[in-house]
């Protein structure tokens, strides 16, 4: 049994990690300022975790929270390209400054390993698919720059201080607990809830942009594997975490509409500034070093996601009110 710290532990991905660790009997400390995380995400395990309401910008509080910790999953962030374009300073302070505070806290507390939630947005719109970790980053948005800077900090702390770090570049994560009704919500969550309510979702662009959509259960598995991976192969490295398949937004929209019983076309609008046109990952390195294999496929992930939203938002689906 180990002691874990999860930053952003009340958020979408962070809360799934919390539940997974609690289920296997580990000690879990959660940091969240609840700007984007939700307390209800932790309700089923609240009596089995230590919860600290802390902002990652509070260096002293972050440092104190790292004491007695074996491993850190650093999920805390302001995870939105559009928000970073509209309001770059808050996301800079959390995504870069907060990451620095976590690393310093980990270094001083002699934490064994930090696993960092990096982003596929680092690749930008450069030519060449699938994306391989050896490609030179070409970030398009402040958010992408911030998450890439976090990677560089992680690698520097490994090289300079010997703090083991592993960076996981997430590709288009979706699933239960993803907030659906924010202007910055992920496309899958937004589409699902709007269709349930009988509203036509908007697609920014022609809908032929592709995404390597990855169910959250695959991401949880990748994080747990990253903690266990051999130091000599994993420390200081970056790994793509995805399914290695590309699905267009039009294809995704059509499948969701079928599962939900929605019969209207989307509303097409202009492309959003800073958005990456396409994503498709090479997951060879994660497979060989971490032993990562995506266990939940695209369609199965969609079915699970729709089922969760139907239960969570019961009564809001058109025709049930």
Tokens 């995380």 sit on residue: 37
Catalytic residue among 4, 71, 116, 143: 143
Q: Are 180 and 193 in contact (CB under 8 A)?
A: yes
**What is the three-state SS of 132-166?**
CCCCCCCCCCHHHHHHHHHHHHHHHHHHHHCCEEE
Peptide bond preceding 130: is omega within 30 degrees of 0, i.e. cis? yes
> Which residues fall within 8 angstroms of residue 198, CB to CB, at 6 or more apart?
262, 318
**Distance from first CA to last CA of the chain, Å, rounded?**
47
Between CA 8 and CA 55 the distance in angstroms is: 9
Residue 139's alpha-carbon distances to 121, 134, 145, in angstroms, are: 6, 15, 6
184 is catalytic: no
Nearest to 244 by CA among 292, 201, 311, 180: 292
Tokens 């509070």 sit on residue: 58
Q: Are 278 and 206 in contact (CB under 8 A)?
A: no
**Helices and strands (H and E) in the chain: how many:** 12, 13
Instruction: Give exposure, 79-118, as e/b (b: 16+ Cβ within 10 Å).
Output: bbbbbbbeeeeebbebbbebbbbbbbbbbebebbbbbbbb
- Helix 142-161 × helix 99-109 angle, to 10°: 20
Give the catalytic positions in this structure: 143
């Amino acid at each position: 049994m180990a002691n874990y710290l999860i930053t952003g532990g009340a958020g979408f991905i962070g809360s799934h990690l919390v539940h997974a660790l609690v289920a296997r009997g580990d000690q879990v400390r959660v940091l969240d300022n609840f700007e984007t995380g939700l307390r209800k995400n932790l309700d089923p395990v609240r009596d089995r975790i230590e919860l600290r309401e802390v902002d990652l910008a509070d260096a002293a509080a972050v440092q104190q929270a790292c004491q007695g910790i074996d491993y850190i999953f650093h999920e805390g962030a302001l995870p939105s390209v559009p928000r970073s374009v509209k309001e770059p300073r808050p996301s800079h302070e959390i995504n870069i400054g907060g990451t620095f505070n976590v690393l310093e806290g980990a270094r001083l507390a002699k934490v064994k390993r930090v696993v960092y939630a990096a982003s596929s947005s680092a690749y930008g719109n450069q030519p060449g698919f699938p994306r391989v970790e050896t490609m030179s980053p070409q970030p398009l948005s402040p958010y992408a720059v911030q998450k890439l800077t976090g990677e560089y900090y992680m690698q520097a702390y490994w090289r300079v201080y010997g703090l083991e770090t592993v960076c996981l570049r997430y590709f288009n994560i979706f699933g239960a607990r993803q907030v659906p009704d924010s202007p910055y919500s992920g496309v899958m969550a937004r589409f699902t809830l709007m269709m349930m309510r009988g509203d036509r979702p908007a697609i920014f662009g022609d809908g032929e942009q592709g995404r390597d959509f990855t169910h959250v259960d695959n991401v949880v598995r990748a994080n747990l594997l990253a903690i266990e991976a051999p130091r000599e192969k994993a420390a200081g490295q970056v790994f793509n975490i995805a399914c290695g398949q590309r699905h267009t937004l039009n294809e995704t929209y059509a499948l969701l509409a079928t599962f939900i019983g929605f019969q209207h076309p989307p509303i097409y609008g202009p492309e959003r500034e800073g958005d990456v046109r396409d994503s498709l990952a090479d997951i060879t390195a994660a497979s060989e070093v971490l032993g990562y294999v995506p266990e939940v496929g695209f369609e199965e992930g969609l079915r699970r996601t729709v089922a969760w939203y139907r239960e969570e938002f019961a009564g809001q689906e058109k025709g049930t009110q």
